[in-house]
Each structure stands twice: as structure tokens, then as C-alpha cells.
Structure 1
Amino acid sequence: MPKKIPVISLFSGAMGLDLGLEAAGFEVVLAVECDEQAVATIKANRPSLPVIKSKIEDVSTAEMLKKAGLKAGGAFVVSGGPSCQSFSTAGARRSLGDPRGGLFRHFMRVVEETRPKFFLMENVKGMLSAAIKHRPLNERGPGFPPLEAEEELGSAFRVIVTELRRLNYYTAFDVLNAADFGTPQSRERIIFIGSRDGKRITLPKPTHAEHPKKHQKKWASLRSAIGRFSEIDSPGAKLIASQEKYLKMIPEGGNWRDLPEADQKEALGGAYHSWGGRSGFFRRLSWDKPSPALPTTPNAKATMLCHPTELRPLSVREYARIQQFPDDWKFSGSISSQYRQIGNAVPTGLGQALGMAILDAWNRRNGLAQLGTVETHNEDLVRRMASRPVTMLNPPSMRKKNGNENSTEWDQSRLKKRSDSTQYSATTQVTKAA
């Protein structure tokens, strides 16, 4: 095994995942990133690191290997997180229908053509439940046609599993919370680690917990990251007058639900009549808890991250501390770009834990697994995947079109048109060995 295992970093961004892997003993030898301002960040901090500034779909694996000084089938790692917006629970969730959703196929292409010893892919947890085709909520339920198979929740994940199996690696996956690995942020990501040689992979076990058990520490708090941090004229987003008006009334750790009832409707506007927790609206953070997952915009109406005691959003440097970037790490570009780069990054503590899991599998001398297998060892995740609904409906009060059937009858009608083997074939393959 080389002294430092080389890593080809795809979708590198501000290098959060890369810094974590380096802390575990790896060496990033190439970064592939198309965002100009993120590339400037990489060059500002790693001036000697080869960078390919291009969309991954426009880069050949031959060019990557040449720039990295590696050969196909060598002892190295390919890592990255294909653009996750299309799998996020926020927004339209166009999934594989969004060009960004198909970027995971280019990740697969690079793995297939370079044949690294291991690969590491991360993404938002929403990848598990995303549909290939998105049907708007107001076009589901009684009075509308049954869902097609590609419109069912989880259909995109079945495609992803099929693609992973086709690589003929042994692949293990799980959903991990960065807070469980010492990061002052509750941020869940789905992680895939693949072994070309069939080395058995164990995803890292939590070192921290909200309610610690033996040998665990308590979750790191926001205070531990930024409580004593101060920077003169630290750049950051601003609040508008209407946001300040309501945030003044919200206590530490609260959100719009802590406003007087008479003000809630005005504060939320049209969102007041929607459903769901809407916990990000007028949210003020708590000193003694981890931060929520950092969005790319801390002063947007639905993704507010207000300082626990001051009337302002978290600053760029506070964002960086929560993601565990070194204090001397330089971020290039506009303020909005810096927030985006940091918000999209993987916390370095989680990256380091993943690197250690790869090292553990790399050094494993026995217990080879069957190639082409994709599995999780998390039994609770298996149960949740097996019992998840295949669609979500607006509550009856929000449905604009009603048929003669109720939602249960509509579900049954849809179920009759769906083959169990179509719905569960890929998931069954995942769960059999779990």
C-alpha cells in the first residue's frame, strides 16, 4: 500500500470532503470542478494541485488519469458528490429528469473506465426517495390518473442501485449524520463505498450521539464551533426589514411558530396555508445544539439561519467553522458563491470518518464479498425503505380536483397497475444481504 493513497476528486467544490480524506491519510492528486469561483478557491489553497476546470461530461477519463499521474486499475480512490439539488427534498425534485440528476452516471462512467481500487460517492438523503419523473403534488390523488412506475417515490434509487451493480464492485451504503462524527451540524447524507476487489466494507460507527452511549461523546454544539469566534467585519448576508421585524420576536432555538399567532400568517405569506413543518422559516439557532444542515442561502425565507443571539444570519466564516474548514482556508468569489461552496461541502469530520472506513477495508485480508452486490448493514434503514410510501398527497383541503374515489381507493387502483417485481426488485437485491 502506498504511503498516501491517491484520490481523484470529482465535483470538488471547496474541497470539504477532500480535506476530510486528507486528514485520514489520503492525498488528493486531481480535482475536477466546473464552477469558476470554486476552482479559484481550490487554487488559492492548493496552488500546486492539478485542476481540470470543466463539466465532467466534457472530460475524458484518459485526461483525468494523465493529469493525476495514474493508470486505470491502479491503487487509488475516486470520490465525489454528484450535484444533489435534483434529489433534494426542497424544490421541484426533478431527479433523473434534471440534467444534474444524471451526473451520477458520469461518476459511474469515471469509475467504470478508471477502475479505482475504491470509490466513494455521497449525496443527499433525498436520493433514497426521489422519483425518476416528478409529478406535481396538485396533480396526484383522486381525480388524476394512477402514477406511472417512474413517478413513484424510490424509482430513481432503483436505477442508481442497478447502475452500481453493473460496475461489478462490492458496494455498501448507509445514511450517516455528520453530527454523529463530531461535526457541530446535523446533516444526513447517503454514502456509497465500493471495492473493486470485493473487500468487505463497514461504514463508520458513530463516535458521538445526542444521547451518548458507552464510548460515545455528546453531539458537538454550535457554541463549540462559533461561540468564541470573532472576526472584525466578517462578511455575510443581510436581513431585510421584514425579516428583522419577526426575528426580533423569536427566541434562541425557535422559529415562526414562536411568533404571536396574529403575526404568523403575515410572516409566512402563502406558505402559511401549506403543510409540513416549515421549520426553516424565521429560524433562530440554538447555542447548545448542533446547527441544522447548512443551506446555500442563510437569509432565504424558508432556509433562515439566524445567529442565536444577534439579529443577523450566520457569516461566511461561521459557516466555514460549522463545516470544519481550517480557519486559514480561503474562499473565492462573491459572498453568495462562498455560501454556496461551503453549504454544498461535506463536513471534514464526516469525510475523515469515511476515509478511515476505506482504509480499514483496504487493509482487510479476508472475508471477500460477492462482486456486483449493493447492500446496507443498517436494518432500520432496510425497514424504512421497505415500508416507505410510493407517493405523497396534499391534504384533502388543498386538493383542487376531486374525483368520486377517496385517496385510499386511488392508492389501491394504482397498486393494481404496479408489479411487485417492478417496484421492489432492485430494493430486494439491496436488502437480501442486509
Structure 2
Amino acid sequence: MSGRTRAPGTYGVRLVRSKYLPLEPHPDSCTPDTFREFLSRHEGEPLAIDLFSGAGGLSLGLKRAGWTVAAAVDKDERALETHRHNFPGMSLELDLGSLSDREKLLSLFEGVKVDLVAGGPPCQPFSRAGSAKIRSLVEAGVREEQDLRKELWRAYIDIVLALKPRAVLMENVPDMGLADDFRVIRIIEEKLERADYATQVQLVDAWKFGVPQHRRRLILLARLDSQEFRWPAPSQRHVTLRDAISDLPPIPEKETGERETPYPSRQKLSDFAKVMRQDAVKGLVHDHMTRPVRDDDRELFSLMDEKSLYSDLYEKYKDDPDKARLFRYDTEHFTDKYNRLGWNELSRTITAHIAKDGYWYIHPGQPRTLTVREAARIQTFPDAFRFAGMRSDAFRQIGNAVPPLLGAAAALAVRQHPEDSATEPLHPFWRTVRKELTGWATVLREDDGWSLLPGPEMGAPQAAVAALLSTGRGGPSSTAEAMAHVRGLTSITRAVYAKLLACAPNAAARKSLERLEGIAGKRKPWEDPEKVIEALAFKPNEKSVFRLLMNNDLLLASQGAIRVAERVAGISLRASSGDEPANALNDGRVNLSKLVGAGDEAPLRMAAVRLLSLTECRAAGPSCTKCPLQSLCASESVLSEEQEALF
């Protein structure tokens, strides 16, 4: 029997609303009417714009890295009140999905030299949790299936191309790339490269830059003045929760903290805590407030450590009448309903969900959830940074923010150095590689390669046969006879089906081709590629090969394709580097996305990469002299000085 479910409409503890915290504007803030005066006070300083700024996590990172944030734009009124208090410049409430609002922003910067445009288009539709929530709302008829927030990246890139800053920084959740084969990222990169920007995309672990939490983010950088991106050296040491929050005062049991609390005296501070306390009011910590907790939850929290699962605790105590009463949720569905953090560990990722439910963030030393200030510390907001609104507003702003230390690291990667003085348009490395790859594949397709690549001669019958034979070990050469039998056909007749079975290179290939039995001799199914997929019951890899050969834009992220991309990039495969396998695969997909790019010819390039992985660029004994990318490939050996500068 599993744990109970809480009765609807009950919480079991008196809910205490915090008072609204109003914040005055920064002394050097300005409005559109006084913006030119602001610019005159900051003449000669590198100016940045922060789009979709929220409370200003990324703005603070830009400030740390040396920029003056001239304008921040968002739709969240309370987040903008926070931004306006903590930063100079304009904090503008605009809807960047509106063309007229974008034009208002651009008109303010007419004739102004902007050095950097930064921002993170709303990420909820791209995150796994957000996608699940949106699906449920669509099914309930509450919202439209097409979420326009997905398209705000177009507004972002339109503003970038209109202002043509020296550098660009975009931050988002990894799923913005992973969920759609990096299609949006590839399109953005291609648009930037056409405007002569050199680009870089990375999946970055925030803890490597001093952020005390598990948080992986997608960072896209671009610059006009150089092809170098000089990230600060990543740390190999975690900043633990003990480093991050142990100096903050304990909160008495059954209390929720205060807006102002004295720091404990005579403490030995971690280096992180020293940085967080800089510029704060001496002796006082602000916003050290949490939510009230039920007595039974508090008791359950005391039974937990950082390794405890809610479901495991229930199994341990279900036969103890005194303890079994503490479990209010169905443990079959809520295995990790509560999560206690560990002093010597990184925190769980701080998200906007903390504004609604703090039970994923149980304090490592007290039976309560995190306070606003503790969450801010974990996101690397210093103690002097205040958040407008009520307690829930502050939690939401913190959870939605870019960790300032991560923002600073990414910004430093595009900071201008004296040697960065490109006087002519750059020739981005990956754009050059893609041009060579496209040229080679186009010539090959016009000759014997018609059966291996998407193109005019590749229809549903040809792609189906190629897909059915794609898992064989014989390689492309073993499929040549079969493909010759279907060349030029719009359907597969019974006679052709018999020929295909007769020329099958082995028993496994024959068994795959026998799946054509149901539609051989019919014309109608071949008119709809989706019906072909259904009729042939394609396995996932076969389906991908079929769609790719039918000119669908996708990343076929096989081990071989990733091997080609990483060899070109001069990065050895991470299987032996100690990285987690999932992270290694995702990082490999980033490099594959750079090699494939976007546009009408992306499917041709993807198919060409797949072909190279099966022929010239094998895992062992690659035939580099026959590879069309040989002159550009850094391989797994030492990079030349010229190539090294490109990464």
C-alpha cells in the first residue's frame, strides 16, 4: 500500500503572506526621455542590452565582466522593478513579440554603438517540465498548441541583426537545442554567420564557474572582431552548499525569518561567502525568509538526508504507526516528492518552481525549506541584491534568473582584447567546413552517390530500401545492387520485390526487405511517406534514415556522425575522458549541429556526414586522404596554430 494523498483544499499550516517590498530606482537609472543624458555620462564605456532580462542575473554578469547595461527589456513588472533598483540605465517593459515594441526599442538606439546584445528568450516551452505542462494545458483546451513564446528567439535575432553589435550572448536551457535537433540554434548560427559573425555554442556546467548547484545551460556566443572565445579557466572544485549558505543565521523552529536579520558574529567565512557579502549593509542580511512548514513535514524532514527518497522512507516506516502518518502523498507517483540538500554537495537546480513548492529544496541542516536569501546565494546573487515584491515574487525572479557568475564567465569569453581587431569580414570556420561538405556531396549525388544522399532521384521507394538496409554491416557498397533495382521507380512492384530479396547481401538484410511484402505491388501507400513508415514498422534508426533521405531536417546523432564532427573540431571522443555518457553525447550533438548547419542543404550535409562515418572516417584506420574535409580537419592530433585559434 502506498502513501496517502492530501485532501483537496487543505495544507495543514497557516499560510503567512509576506509584505510587498517596494524598491526605489537606482540613482543612475533613466527613462527613454533621459536616455541621451545617461549616454553622455557613460561615454566611452562598452554598452550592453539585456533582452528578456528578468530580475537581472545576466545583467549582473555583464556588469562583472565590464559592460554598462544601457537597457534591459522584459514583460514582468515586478522583475523590472527589481532590475531598475539594482542597475543604472533603462529598465523597459516591452513585449518583444510585438513588432511595434521592437521598433520602439530600436528607435531608442538609433545612432548608438551597442557593443553587446545579451539575453535568454523565454525557455519554458523548451524545458522538459515546461513541455509536459503545456501538453496538459493543450489537452485540456486551455491554450493553443502553437506557443508563440517559442518564436521569441526570432525577435531576439532580429534585434541583434538590426543593431549589429560587436558581440552576442544568448543563454537558455539545453532542451532549446536538444529537444528539436538544435534546429533553432542552427538557424540562429546560420543567420549570424551570414552577417559575418564567428559563433560558438556550448553546453556549460555552471558549477565549473563557481555556481553551487547542478545547472547545465546552453550558451551561444558570437562576435565580429575575432574568432577566439576566451572563457575563464573552469574550476575543478565544487562550491558546496556549506561554502554558499552555512554562514547565514539559523531560523528558529516554526518561524519563517525576517526581512532584516543580523549576521552571526565571529564566523570564519568561505571565499564564496566573502564575495556574497561585499557591498551588503554591514551586520545585516536581508530577505532571509522562508515558508511555514507543517509540523508533520518538519518531523519527516528530520528523518531525511541528501540521499533519501520519499518512497524509500515510506517503505522504511510504513509499519511504524507513529511515522506512517507523516506520508501524505502517493509514493508510486511521488518517489522524490521531498528532496533534502547536502552540506557537502551541490544544490539541486534552482528553478521558478521554487516559488510554488520549496519541498525540493529542504535545508541541509534545519527542518525547513530554503529562504529567499539562500536561494539567491545558490544562484550567486550577492547579499546586496534586493528583490521587489512579495516572497513568492522573489523566489520566482531568482528561479528564472541566469546565475550571475555563469553570465560573467560567458561574457568574458567575448570581451574585446587589444589583439581583436578584425578589419575585414571574418570567414567563420564552420561555415567554411559546411561549404566544402556541401560541394562534395552535391558532386557525389550527381554521380554514383544518388542512392546515398537526398536529392532528385531519392523518393519514398528508394529511401525505404536504403533505410531497411541501413543497419547492415556491409556498408553502402553492399546496397548498390538493391538500390539499382529501384532507381527511377515511384512504387515497388512484386517483380522488383522479388529481385530485392534475391540480391540481399545476407540473411538479416533479406529479413528486413521482407517487410516490403505488405505494400509491394501497391501504388497508394508510396504517395505518403508517413504511410510508408507505418506500413514498414520502421525501427527508430531506420525511420531517421528514411526521413533524412526524404530531405527532412534532422540530426542523425549516431556514434559515427558524432565521431566525424568531433574529429573535424579537433576534440577526441569523450568516452575515455571521464565525462558522463549523456553529457558526452549531448556535447557531441553540439559539434554535429555546427557541421550540419541549417538551411535547405542541411539534410544533404547530414547524409554526407553519415556517409563519411561509414566509409572514410571510420573509428579505426580512417582514410583521411580520401576525405573531402581533410584540409580543414583538426583530427585527434595536435592542432596547427592557425586552427587552434578558430576554436
Range class of TM-score, shorter chain = 0.7 to 0.9
Residue 183 (1) aligns with residue 211 (2)? yes
Could you tell me how far 1:429 is from its partner in structure 2?
2.2
d(CA) in 2 for partners of 1:193 and 1:298?
A: 29
Instruction: Name the residue aligned to 2:427.
Output: 370
d(CA) in 2 for partners of 1:368 and 1:322?
A: 41
Residue 44 (1) aligns with residue 85 (2)? yes
- Amino acid corresponding to residue 180 of structure 1 in structure 2: K
Contact 1:170 1:374 in 2 (8 A): no
Contact 2:117 2:160 in 1 (8 A): yes
Instruction: Name the residue aligned to 2:374.
Output: 318
Of 150, 161, 169, the residue aligned with 1:101 is 150
Structure 1: gaps spanning 5 or more residues: 132-153, 210-217, 377-404
| CA shift in 2, pair 1:173/1:271, >3 Å | farther
| CA shift in 2, pair 1:84/1:429, >3 Å | same
Larger Rg: 2
- Amino acid corresponding to residue 50 of structure 1 in structure 2: M
Residue 329 (1) aligns with residue 385 (2)? yes
Task: Look up the SS of the partner of 1:122 in the other structure.
Answer: strand
Of 216, 220, 235, the residue aligned with 1:208 is 235
Instruction: Name the residue aligned to 1:143.
Output: none
Residue 79 (1) aligns with residue 210 (2)? no
Percent of aligned positions that are identical? 29
Deviation per residue, 1:325-379 (Å, 9 max, x gap): 1212111122222111111111111111112111157852469752595799xxx
Instruction: Name the residue aligned to 1:158.
Output: 183
Residue 424 (1) aligns with residue 555 (2)? yes
Instruction: Name the residue aligned to 2:338.
Output: 282
Instruction: Name the residue aligned to 1:291.
Output: 347
The structure, 1 or 2, with the larger RCO (C-alpha pairs under 8 Å, 6+ apart) is 1
| CA shift in 2, pair 1:344/1:289, >3 Å | same
Instruction: Name the residue aligned to 1:215.
Output: none
Of 226, 235, 255, the residue aligned with 2:309 is 255
Could you tell me how far 1:317 is from its partner in structure 2?
0.8
| CA shift in 2, pair 1:186/1:3, >3 Å | farther
Task: Look up the SS of the partner of 1:370 in the other structure.
Answer: coil
Could you tell me how far 1:53 is from its partner in structure 2?
0.7
Could you tell me how far 1:165 is from its partner in structure 2?
0.6
Contact 1:75 1:116 in 2 (8 A): yes
| CA shift in 2, pair 1:118/1:412, >3 Å | closer
Of 393, 406, 411, the residue aligned with 1:355 is 411
Instruction: Name the residue aligned to 1:392.
Output: none
Residue 111 (1) aligns with residue 160 (2)? yes
Contact 1:295 1:303 in 2 (8 A): no
Could you tell me how far 1:252 is from its partner in structure 2?
3.8
Instruction: Name the residue aligned to 1:381.
Output: none
d(CA) in 2 for partners of 1:306 and 1:267?
A: 16
Give the TM-score taking structure 2 as reference length: 0.50
Task: Look up the SS of the partner of 1:307 in the other structure.
Answer: coil
- Amino acid corresponding to residue 79 of structure 1 in structure 2: A
d(CA) in 2 for partners of 1:124 and 1:322?
A: 18
Task: Look up the SS of the partner of 1:292 in the other structure.
Answer: coil
- Amino acid corresponding to residue 272 of structure 1 in structure 2: E
Of 232, 248, 253, the residue aligned with 1:229 is 248
Of 300, 306, 309, the residue aligned with 2:362 is 306
Instruction: Name the residue aligned to 1:128.
Output: 177
Residue 29 (1) aligns with residue 70 (2)? yes
Residue 411 (1) aligns with residue 540 (2)? yes
d(CA) in 2 for partners of 1:291 and 1:89?
A: 19
d(CA) in 2 for partners of 1:126 and 1:17?
A: 19
| CA shift in 2, pair 1:203/1:90, >3 Å | farther
